[in-house]
Chain A
């Protein structure tokens, strides 16, 4: 079955540590995204990538880093510079929509919940 796989589902981190969240898709989508979700704030875009070896900052990129070495993979690193990293992180992918980055139909993984101890 085609879809998006995120791992781990739950992750605990000590302050000062970097952690990497995995995101893999087998939908052959060009565009991939990382969103952060906090209660009452909806989804906020961290980073997105339109094509391999290229990515762009979203609305809240500070303290995060990404790479896109393969079409299928878009890992997110939460660095020690992120002051409030405890959140639910969602990875998504989509087909491109002509002049738009996306057609609007995003396919989401099941999310990774990061807790800082």
Chain B
């Protein structure tokens, strides 16, 4: 089965600093990849998606992600983090149905 792995369980970053969250996928063909965000006690919201084409995709809230086939990665980045970015982030891949990684919790310190 196709899957995604998020190596980092928890990341702490200072407000205004850059953020990068890692995601590695296991898939034979070109995958459909996604990043979702979950605020505490809430449902998930789609940040961005990659189907094909440009390997750098832009999402909402100032996030972007880069698809690198050679590294089987789809890392999420934000140049300058705001306190409201504190949340849990999930990478996901479609293999008939959507499969999620275990998530990375982001803490933002003042």
Q: Which residues of A contact B (CB under 8 A)?
A: 4, 33, 40-43, 45, 48, 58, 90, 92, 94, 97, 99-106, 108-111, 113
Contacts and interface: CB of A to CB of B under 8 A. Distances in A.
Interface string B52-83: 00000000000000000000000000000000
Interface of B is mostly: strand
A58 B32 CA distance: 20
The 10 closest A-B pairs by CB, nearest first: A108-B43, A42-B102, A104-B94, A43-B100, A108-B44, A101-B97, A42-B100, A110-B43, A104-B32, A42-B103
A103 B97 CA distance: 9
Interface string B77-98: 0000000000000101010111
A106 B94 contact: no
Contacts, number: 59
A97 B94 contact: yes
B28 interface: no
14 contacts: A40-B102, A43-B100, A92-B43, A97-B94, A99-B96, A102-B94, A102-B98, A104-B32, A104-B34, A104-B94, A106-B44, A108-B43, A110-B41, A111-B41
